[in-house]
Amino acid sequence: MKRIAALSGFIGMFLIVMPLTVPVKTGDHLLIVDSFRFIQFNLRGFFIALRIGLKATAIALMMDVVLGTSPFPVTLKALTHLRVPNMICQMLSLAHRYIFVFHHEAKRMTTGMQARGFQKRTSLDTLKAMGNFIGMLFVRSFERTERVYDAMLARGYNGQFPALIEFHSEKKDWLKGCFWVIAGLALVISDRMLQLRLPFGA
C-alpha cells in the first residue's frame, strides 16, 4: 500500500495536467467555471489520464507480486530464460548487491560530515560541500568497483556467473501458464470491447 500511495502521488499529476492541456477535438465535453473561463477542463483528457493511472497501478501491483514472491537470483534466472541478455542480468545483479554498499558508504560519509559540524543551509558553502560529497562518493564507488572486479577475476570470473538454480517445468506449471495467458487475453478483449462502448474513449 505504501508503494501504491507513492505511485498515486505521481499519477495524480496526470489527472490534473492532462484535462487542462489535451487538445480540444470535436465532440469533447468541457467543464468551464464562469469566474475562470480561461481554464477548460477536458473530460476526454481526464479519462485518458485515468486509464494511464489504472494501467500503471496494475503494472506496479503485478511487478510487486513477481519480484516479491521469489528470491532475486531466481527472478534473474527466469529473465535469462526469457531471452533477456545475460549482460543486463549481470548488471541488475551487481546493482542490486552494491547499491546497498554505496548507500552505507554515503551514510558513513554523512556521519563524518556531521561530526565535523556540517549543517545543511541555503548557502554557497553548503552547495560546495554537497558537490564535494557527491564527487567523493563517485570516486570511492569507482575505486570499490575496480577492487570488486579484480576480486571476481581472481575467483575465475569469465563473463558469466555460475548458475546455482535450474528450472524444471512440470505439468502443473504448463497448466498455470496457460490459465494466465487465457486470463490475460480475456482482459485485453474485454478492454477493447469496453473502449468501443465508452463515449470518451481514446
Tens digits of residue pLDDT in 34-68:
776 667 778 888 888 888 888 888 888 888 777 77
Q: 13 by DSSP, 3-state: which? A: helix
Residues 137/109, Cβ–Cβ less than 8 Å? yes
| Mean pLDDT (whole number) for 159-175 | 77
- In this structure, what is the dihedral angle of CA atoms 70, 76, 78, 79, given to the nearest 10 degrees? 130
Tens digits of residue pLDDT in 67-99:
777 788 888 888 888 888 888 888 888 888 888
DSSP conformational letter for 119 = -
Domain boundaries, the chain: 1-69
Tens digits of residue pLDDT in 189-202:
988 887 777 654 44
94-116 burial string, b = 16+ CB within 10 Å, else e? eeeeeeeebeebbeeeeeebeee
Q: CA–CA separation, 60 vs 11, rounded Å?
A: 12
Write out the three cell numbers for 188.
485485453
Tens digits of residue pLDDT in 135-145:
888 888 888 88
| pLDDT given at position 182 | 94
pLDDT band for 15, please (50, 70, 90 cuts). confident
